[in-house]
Every structure is written in structure tokens, then in C-alpha cells.
Amino acid sequence: MDLAWRDAAANRERAERLMLGAEKSDLYVLPEMWNTGVTTEPEGIAEEDGGETLQWMQRMADRLDAAVAGSIAVKECPLPAHPSGKCLYYNRLYFVKPKRSSASQGLSEDGSGEGTVFYNKHHLFSYGGETLHYTPGTEKATAEWRGLRFRLSVCYDLRFPIWLRNTDDYDVLICVASWPDVRIHAWNVLLQARAIENQCYVLGVNRVGRDPVCHYRGGTQVVDPFGNATSCADGETAVLTMTLDMKRLRAFREKFPVLREIDKTEG
């Protein structure tokens, strides 16, 4: 999707229209900071945990009886009595499950339990100034949903294979991004590499359009464990719907046991 710059209400409306017009699915994935566009200055647009956008994601999950994933800028501010008085900002990827499908609605950074799972982007993009305003996450996160295990990652994380190494603890890697056109070849190659080396499906979801800094052509794609990619058309607002063949994935892992033979220093 193209993103209205720093306009959460407009982007929620766009996303809702696209989702309701798409084929019924178990999971809907939106790009990085899909509600505002990626900005290195989150002041004024970052929402507190539980804010309007997360509430919207929960409503959509309930309405569609599906999980909804996407990252937004989030701020966490200390209590007034805290001596620093400084808010922390995170590029936070939420994986929101419908309430009626969850035994509880706890919020979990490490991916344990039911309800909403979140992941704070670990590798901040220093080249673009992200490290000046955001705090890096320290924990990996995996969301379990309808028999599949989804590992969560955001944009620049894709360049760090050790951080994303599959130790047979996930089936699908989600990478939401605002990956500019000038580096789109790297995006395509890295998505395929992560799928092949981790024997997993990769859902790479990128934006289209422009922001004040970059142009984006999209390149949203689903890559299978063999490195074969199915992509959206370049530069167009579109929805890509795919079915993941878990029987095929499990048979491949059993026959070709890469995940059981990784170096002990990995993961």
C-alpha cells in the first residue's frame, strides 16, 4: 500500500478497504510503520501501547477472524515520579489475534502464551538516523497461530542472518519493511536467502509510493523454502494472497535436515 505521510487515520482507512476487499485469509500483514510512514522523528505520531491503531488492529482481527500483523511507532513514557522523565520510542511489530480465538489477552514480548504478541525492532537503521530516536529491542519474538509458528522481524533485520537463524523454532518468517527502490535488488536476494537457509516460508511485505526521503516500488512477496518467490506487481497498490503448504515444508525438512545440522555457534 501507499502510505499517507504521518496520517494514521487515513492509513487505517486505506488498510481496512484493502483488507475487506481481499480474499478471506487467516493472516493479514501490513508494511513497516504502515499507519504513518517510516519517520526517524516519532515525536507527535508515536502511539502509546494500546492506542488507536492497536485497537483498530484488534477490531479488524475480530471482524475477520484472522490475525493482523504490522509495525507502528510506539512510545513508552515513565511515571511522572521517574527521575529521567524521558519517553522511549520503539518500532514495534504487533501480531494481533482475534479475541474469540485466544484463551487470554496477555501481551508478550517473547511470544509466549496467547493474545497479542509484539516485537521491537532489534537492528535499527543507523544509516537513516533511526538510532537517534528509537530504542532497539532485545528479544526475539515468535507468534503461534493456527498450527504455524511465525517469527517476527522488521526491515533492516533482514540483513542479519544470525539474528534470524531458525533453530527449528519457526515455520514462517515475517519481514515488514519500507525498503526503498534504490536497494530493491538486495531486498529480493535477501528474502530468498533467508527462506533457503532457514527452510521456511518468508512473507516480505513492503510499501509503494513516496515519502519525503525515498521512493518505494513494493516487491511484496511470498518466498517458499526452496527460494521460489511469488510477488506483487511493482509499484502498484495490491494484495497478494497465498496458501502455505505446511505438509510440503515438513516433508522437505525431514528429507533434507538442514535445521538439525546447523553449526553450534549459530542461533
Query: Can you name the residues that pair with 114 across neighbouring β-strands?
Result: none
Q: Scan for cell 493474545, then name that residue.
A: 115
Provide the annotated active-site residues. 32, 121, 155
Domain that holds residue 202: 8-260
φ and ψ at 176, to 5 degrees?
Answer: -95, 140
Q: What is the pLDDT of residue 114?
A: 57
The secondary structure of 43-71 as a DSSP string is: TTT-EETT-HHHHHHHHHHHHHTSEEEEE
CB-CB contact of 60 with 28 (8 Å)? yes
Whether 267 has a pLDDT exceeding 70, the answer reads no
CA distances from 243 to 188, 206, 222 (A): 20, 19, 10
**Residue 1: inside a domain:** no
**Residue 50: inside a domain:** yes
The number of residues making up the chain comes to 267
How many structural domains compose the chain? 1
pTM of the model: 0.93
**Residue 123: inside a domain:** yes
Residue 186 zone, left/alpha/beta (φ > 0; ψ -120 to 50; rest)? alpha
Cα angle value 185/190/195 (rounded, 5°): 135
User: Percent of the chain scored above 70 by pLDDT?
Assistant: 91
**Residue 130: inside a domain:** yes
pLDDT in tens, 96-125: 999 975 444 444 444 333 589 999 999 999
